[in-house]
Amino acid sequence: MQIIGLTGGIASGKSTVAKMLEEKGAYLLDADRLAREVVEPDQPAWQEIVNWLGQSILLPDQSIDRSKLAELVFSNQQMLERLNSIVHPRVGTRLVALSKIIREKDPDAVLIYDIPLLIEAEMQSLVDLVLLVYVPREIQIARLQQRDNLSRAAVEIRLQNQMDIEDKKKYADAVIDNSAHLTETYHQADQFWDKLKPGGFYAHGEVDQR
């Protein structure tokens, strides 16, 4: 089984590329989705967050108010680090457990870990190669402003909590540039997938020189 660490910056198009690869036959484990699952009501991470921030962080249905949580942590590095220390280890445990199930089901599987903070969290050891979805910073800002209806100042705060996407290139074994038309992104995803096939570039453990 090959495990691909899919990462990028916020609003770079990771989910778009993940869907493309999933359509080609890859299995997908989405770290953001798992992060939401591990903080569901009465889960250990949920209890730890409530003990830390109090009942005011909860919605009427007892789920965590993600918008309020984001407002608290994105502007406070210490709080963000504490939240990550609660959530990330549990997400890692889920990834390993689900990967084992997939490996037993399909030993030749290509498994995609969609992890936005793969590099920041130093989780590269969990994957066989790192695939970066890249867009220039100004495109990131424009897309995030449009997608989430945020001011530029709010976007800048969120970007400060991630490694600069130009620096992430240094850690990538392969890069898909998602700054142009979507058809070009599809073309690059096709090329990457072909290199994963038996006899392909990545099947021999090689990496692109970027």
pLDDT, one tens digit per residue, over 59-71 is 999 999 998 998 8
User: Do the domain assignments include residue 128?
Assistant: yes
CATH number at residue 66: 3.40.50.300
User: Do the domain assignments include residue 70?
Assistant: yes
- The whole domain housing 127 covers 2-202
User: Residue 205's pLDDT is what?
Assistant: 46
pLDDT of 12 > 80? The answer is yes
User: Do the domain assignments include residue 209?
Assistant: no
Q: What is the mean pLDDT of residues 155-161?
A: 82
pLDDT tier for residue 202 given thresholds of 50, 70 and 90: low
The C-alpha atoms of residue 185 and residue 177 are separated, in whole angstroms, by: 7
User: Do the domain assignments include residue 207?
Assistant: no
User: Do the domain assignments include residue 42?
Assistant: yes
Q: What is the mean pLDDT of residues 85-89?
A: 93
User: Residue 174's pLDDT is what?
Assistant: 96
User: Do the domain assignments include residue 149?
Assistant: yes
User: Do the domain assignments include residue 155?
Assistant: yes
How many domains does the chain divide into?
Answer: 1
pLDDT digits (tens, 9 = 90+) for 89-143: 999 899 999 999 999 999 999 999 999 889 988 889 989 999 999 999 899 888 8
Those residues with Cβ within 8 angstroms of residue 182's Cβ, 6 or more apart along the chain or in another chain: 16
